[in-house]
Amino acid sequence: MKLIENGIDIPNKLLRDHEDGRVVFFCGAGVSKNGANKPNFLELAKIIVDKLTSSPESQSKMYLGKLENCLEIEGFNGIIPIDHLFSLLEGEFERQDIEEVIYNELRVKDSDKLESHQTILKLATTSEEKVQLVTTNFDKLFSEADGNLKVYSHANIVNIKENLDGIVHLHGCLDDNHNLVLSSRDFAKAYMTDAWATTFFKKILEKYSVVFIGYSANDPPIRYLLEALGEETKNGIYAFDQESSHWNSGIQKINYPDGDFVSLWQTLEKWAIKSEDEEKWQTEILKLAEQEPKTLKPSERELVTYLISSVSGAKMFKNRDPHPPATWINVFDKKRRYKKTTEYDYFDLYHLESESRDRKQSLPNKCDNKEAIKPILESDSNDTQDDNLGEKWDAFYDLKDTQTVDYIFDWIVKLTDQEEIINWVIEQPCLHDVLHEKINRQQNNSQIWLYILQQQEICHQYTFKREVEKFGWCVVLVQKYITMCRPQVKAETAKKLGLEFISIIKDDIDKINIPDEYLKLMVQGLRNNLEYVSVVAKDVDRFNKNEEQQDKIKDTLQYPKAEMHEVIGGHVNLFISLFKKLIRIEHSAAYQEFSTWTSSEGSVIFTYLKLYACRYSLLKGSEVGKIIIGLSKQDFWSGIYERTLLKSLSKRWDDLSQTTKKRLEVKLLEGKEKEYRAFSVLQRIAWLDKNGVVFTFDFKQKKKSLKNICPRWKEKDIEEIDKDEPFEFYTITSNEDPKELEGIEGSKLIETAYQLHVQSPGERTRENVPLVGLIKKNPKYIFNVISSCQSKHNDWALELYLKCIVYNNEDNEGFQQKIANKNYQLIDKINGFINNIYIVKYEQNINIHTKSIIESFIRINEKFGKELNSDIFHQSIKNAMDVYEKHPEFDDRTIASNDRVELVSTAINSNTYYLVQSLIFNSSKVVNSVPSKQWLKLAKAILNFQSPLSDYATFAFSNQIHWLHHYHPEWVEKHLLSRSMIENRNINNAFWLGFLCSNKVPSKKLYEHIKSGLPLLACKDLQHNNIYKKYYKTISSLFFLLWKEKYIPDREMKEIIYTSHHDFISCFIKMLPNYCEEHIDSVVQFFQNIWPKEKEVKNTENTSSFLRLLACHDAKYFENIYGVIGDYLSVVDLTYSVFYNVEKIANKYPNETMVILNKVLPEKILNNTSTKLIDILDKIVLEKDQGKLNEEALSIYLRFRRLTQ
């Protein structure tokens, strides 16, 4: 934070530590230089040489000359060993004579100005009146500034028992008798042999943060102090110094402009005033907070921002009366500060003193290519960014304390009637739970907040009941209820997916009474939720039960867990309860709802629901029979449906025809698997008989014959059917507890772990993998076991081990740290072991685990390649490539398909892709300007893989083409760009898809090489145009930006548009609203100079896109655009988009609205009453009554009115 305008930026953490009394100030010669003009260490040495030395051959004099010559070298930043100069002086002169000169130079004089020392003393004095100050200066100016100051030197430093209170002269002071630390020998004794200075410094750092003032990075005291530290500290070390200085990486330097000591001392003085009376300072800042922030200086806004970052300051802010203006939200929210509109730049109005526009506009880019801009694919996505507090939301990311944030929320809630706060909440993609709750409590009469909060991504079930009680049921709350019950697919880590469900039972969601009038809408919405669940659940269930499937998607799901909350049953039962109610109140609506379930074939949930519905008279007997007979054998005998199936049969048996009964009996008597056939048949027919079913066959005789086959069956066994839950959904979790393996060593450990894994765990939802727990606990030991023993299940254990390393990003018990310990020695050993046993000799070790092990080997090199020896790394890549050259089928992700759009996801997940990534970003040779021969050879070999691996390699290299061309233009132009025009269609497509997925605009030089091929991607004559349709918005954004930057001349741009596919042209218009905010002039010029005038482009689809463009950003740019595209509008087929967009225009531009409607509406709409058209006419009626419609618009208006009456 900058305490004064154009002052020094002091870290907030340092300010907080200072307020808490946890800072010790170390003062050097620069403090005494300021005001008192005392010499620094080098100047002092020079004075001693001048006063004591007369011989021109004096070693100290010659050495001083060398030091001065070094200092005269421009830009010299080396170490100045002044202590060695003092050692030479001690060899030439008596110590007493040296100290006498020092005393005369440094003694207190009447002319000495002590303002700097008084400022430091104020800063070093805590709220408890303790002074925490250390100096390496010999003078006694601090004691002169405060006569009551306790003084310690290294002779009595051991007397400091508890907290520091006073000044410590670490290197002695003028009163000490021959105890000054001057020469190399003195420093060695202080910091190495006796080490009393080292011990003291470390003790200080254990309790305090340290601030160096008045030192340069090369001063001997600093050099010895930092060398003595030798390790990281939990507290901060800060140093005020000039911008050009270079400090140790462990020091946080606080910069001020070179030579600007005025700025330094003004900042320190302001800090001292603040520390002297913190409450008074806060009161002054609060007066600033009462003003509009945009009227304040950036330094003043920063003071307020700092104030509210503490608990006490935030509390004072929220309690301030009158309330600080709502516009402070634009300062506190960093994203809001950086917001920019065409009207004004928020940064200009609300930025802080410590922020610069350069920092605001900086763009992350590996190659720092000025031609690269933000990813243009942003225009293809409607997704908003999740920013949840702590995990996602970072609106107040600087506020670390929960109580601080809570007070700011209280201030926000007090101003919820202010437009600035309302707009801010609307813009939040995800509102924090606590703020959501506080706003809900605050609103008494206004219903607007119900709609605002409904837009939030997170639904808050705990406030739902209150909203129902407060406002009564409405469509918004119905939709909110449905959204609240909708499950969410959630990426729990980068390698781990999960499903998140609200707990119906726990939160009493099922006990909320739904009014009859909204029941049908509610059932439809909840059914949509279940359709979604059924699709996801089917995929997850297949993954959980299928080992081969696990292998195929192990790069997406973190092995070996696939967690899903077991609360789906609650959602199904909630749906059933509402469906039953719908049957009672509206039979036809219930049947209509049931009819939609036929589209959900194969769904566990909807199969269950169909069987459940069979028990009601809603369905005819023939329909019931058809559903049950139509079940597959697997579903008919599934335990999931058993109770529901049998109950529906018992209730509807009498409604079935004789033919249907006999067909069902055949199905029942067919039984399950051979070994369970008799038991399963007995269970079901006995239960049905008990519940009133009269079979067409002799039940007693059949029962007797089956009991002879299965004597273990007992009558009471049928009670198990009634014990089943109404609806169960099984998921697999993992037991990683290594207790079962304790005390077992060597090959027995692997054997035991494998047996525990393959044995049935006794429940179908649990997988036993205790070896995973042991791997995470002691990865080094387990690797030694695997690599040294001869168990037949070694490959299984190694596969499990490698998956933990590659796919586990959670640092359980410091797992990642254990892997990285001692410069990744373990990774080196693992890499070497796999390389020697499984890569070089892979032909001898091919089994079901080999492919997975080789894949993990590649991922390890991609993940840790920079930490490995360069030669070993390159050899590892070469060996892995040798395997794929002979066995391309080892790349699991190879998918045989003629649809090359699929190539993107397939290539990104392929091992070939990871080989390329590893080679590009882990090879040290790549970063230098010329690629090594080793790198070139490997890159060429990967590109020459067999198909489809060569396609994946081309995609991977092209995906990084901007980076590669920046560093290796010759290699790219020779080996990669040729693939953009190659006749092999697969490789050609792979190049362009990789380029498009890179999401960057090429540099001018790179564009010159690809400009002949890029337009072909949108060409109307391209045979396989459908390949790139998915990327039309990306391609059109590229063309627009390249044209805007003058890379593409107008003539060429016209040709591109003229020869493009009609779908591409439509996408081009749809893309343009994304650029209106920043490039509206270019958008207008595009239509003036480039857009084709041919009639064929005046079609329905383009007109709809034009209307969207006119209405974008609430019709802000209508006046700019309408004049250049109005003539391109034509009659449309579908009118929904017309009315949707024209409604946004009508109020502002009534005359133009009538002309547009007259151009685009088809006659069939005008000949039939249209409620949407009437709504628009109603909006314009006031303009008509006030005589604001021109003659043409009024004529059209009156005509429309006649047609719609």
Asked if 99 and 180 touch (Cβ cutoff 8 Å), the reply is yes
Distances (CA, A) of 1180 to 1111, 1121, 1172, 1193: 17, 22, 13, 10
Phi, psi of 518 (to 5 degrees): -105, 5
Cis peptide before 560 (omega within 30 of 0): yes
Alpha helices (runs of H) in 75-219, residue ranges in sequence order: 82-92, 95-106, 115-124, 141-145, 184-188, 196-207
CA 464 to CA 439: how far, in whole Å?
Answer: 13
Residue 755 burial (10 A CB sphere; 0-12, 13-18, 19+) = exposed
How many Cβ atoms sit within 10 Å of the Cβ of residue 243?
11
d(CA 1090, CA 1049): 10
pTM (predicted TM-score): 0.43
Q: Quote the DSSP letter at residue 211.
A: E
8 Å CB contact between 234 and 54: no
CA 129-135-137 angle, 5° bins: 135
Six-digit token pair at 348?
């200009």
- In terms of Cα–Cα distance, which of 992, 997, 939, 1008 is closest to 968? 939
Low-confidence ranges of the chain (pLDDT < 50): 76, 358-395, 397, 445, 457-462, 489-499, 503-507, 540-567, 600, 725-732, 760-765, 892, 894-901, 924-928, 1023-1024, 1169
N- to C-terminal Cα distance for the chain? 67
Longest dimension (CA), the chain: 133
**160 burial via Cβ count (<10 Å: 0-12, 13-18, 19+):** middle
Whole-angstrom distance, CA of residue 1189 vs CA of residue 757: 80
Strand partners, 1065: none
Determine contact, residues 173/140, Cβ cutoff 8 Å: yes
The residue type of 760 is: S
How many of the other CB atoms lie within 10 Å of CB of 542? Answer: 11
- What is the SS3 assignment for 4-21? CCCCCECCHHHHHHHHCC
| Residue 173 DSSP code | -
**Nearest to 60, CA basis, from 184, 176, 234, 181:** 184
SS3 letters for 1003-1065?
CHHHHHHHCCCHHHHHECCCCCHHHCHHHHHHHHHHHHHHHHCCCCCHHHHHHHHHCECHHHH
Rounded Cα gap, residues 744 and 808, in angstroms: 25
| 3-state class (DSSP) for residue 519 | helix
Query: Residue 450 is which amino acid?
Result: L
Encoded tokens for 642: 């058993």
Contact predicate 856/805, CB 8 Å = yes
- Choose among 796, 784, 782, 913: nearest CA to 859: 913
Contact 1056, 1040 (CB under 8 A): no
Rounded Cα distance, 1150 and 1154, in Å: 6
Q: Say if residue 722 is exposed, middle or buried (CB neighbours under 10 Å; 0-12, 13-18, 19+).
A: exposed
Q: What's CA 292's distance to the chain center, in Å?
A: 34
Amino acid at site 880: A
Closest CA to 272 of 13, 18, 24, 33: 18
| Whole-Å CA distances, 908 to 214, 312, 552, 864 | 55, 51, 14, 19
What is the 3-state composition of the chain as percent helix, strand, coil, each rounded to the nearest 5? 65, 5, 30
pLDDT of 697: 92
Q: How many CB atoms lie within 10 A of CB 857?
A: 24
Residues 6 or more apart whose CB falls under 8 angstroms from that of 243 comprise: 255, 256, 257, 258
What DSSP string describes 389-436?
TTTS--TTTT---HHHHHHHHHHHHHTTTSHHHHHHHHH-SS--HHHH
